[in-house]
Amino acid sequence: MRFQTLFEGRHFLVPSFLAAMFFGWLSGDWCGWLWLAVPAALVFIFCANFFRDPDRPIPAGDQIVVAAADGVVDAIEIVEEKEVLHRECIRVSIFLNVFDVHVNRAPIAGRITYQQHHPGTYLDARHPYCHQKNEALTWAFQGELATLVVRQITGAIARRIVPWSRAGEAVEKGHRFGMIRFGSRTDIFFPLDTTLLVKIGDRVEGGSTVFARLANGYISIPSQILL
């Protein structure tokens, strides 16, 4: 467990732990308090599980792209990425439920060349248009072979995106760049010549699942967003 991740959960972990301890202590004299001690303990266990952040082996290779999030691949489509690359890309969407690790990781090594927050609504993360309407934070990672866009998207429960990195920072593949609190979605945009190694329905783990293989050609990004 990393302190930074646990620190993000302090507003949930500390109150639930203290409540469980307090009502548990009271129940020692009168079992009537158990009806409060048990739910508080369950909330603490749920939050401790949610804010877990395991270390994982990171596959090597410039062409190898790892998953940016834990969850299930539930959409793959060709779309125009209008914010950063301004070209058609393959969008792969990962749905994270409340039991998944919610730390997001850099899919490739390189430099963060773009970071932009977008206010929006809080539709359920399974809604087909949540990636267009919900609050989101867009990132661009410029590597040796390609620039990949990653978009963190909130959901009905996940209403806080926490960035740990910033534009201009150099990162390694698998670097933890932020998290989304409670149920959400992460989209990754690939060049059209990318070979995807996942399909809809696959469960992936951020930082360790081999997600795609990039082509050898370098894909540049518009000069106006370079730092």
The residues pairing with 218 across neighbouring beta strands, listed in sequence order, are: none
Compute the distance between CA of residue 208 and CA of residue 48 in angstroms, rounded to an integer: 22
| pLDDT at 143 exceeding the cut of 90 | yes
Q: Which of 10-24, 153-167, 213-227 has the lowest mean pLDDT?
A: 213-227
87 closest CA partner among 219, 218, 216: 219
Q: Taking a C-beta distance cutoff of 8 angstroms, is the pair 61, 214 a contact?
A: no
pLDDT tens-digit profile of 51-98? 788 889 999 999 999 999 999 999 999 999 999 999 999 999 999 988
Burial of 10 (0-12, 13-18, 19+ CB in 10 A): exposed
Residue 204 · residue 198 · CB < 8 Å: yes
- C-beta of residue 145 within 8 angstroms of C-beta of residue 63: yes
Q: Model confidence over 13-41: pLDDT tens digits?
A: 677 777 777 777 666 655 666 667 778 78
Query: What residues are labeled active site?
Result: 184
Predicted TM-score of the model (pTM): 0.80
Tokens of 4: 């930074």
Mind giving me the DSSP string for 121-177? B---TTSTTHHHHB-EEEEEEE-SS-EEEEEEE--SS---EEE---TT-EE-TT-EE
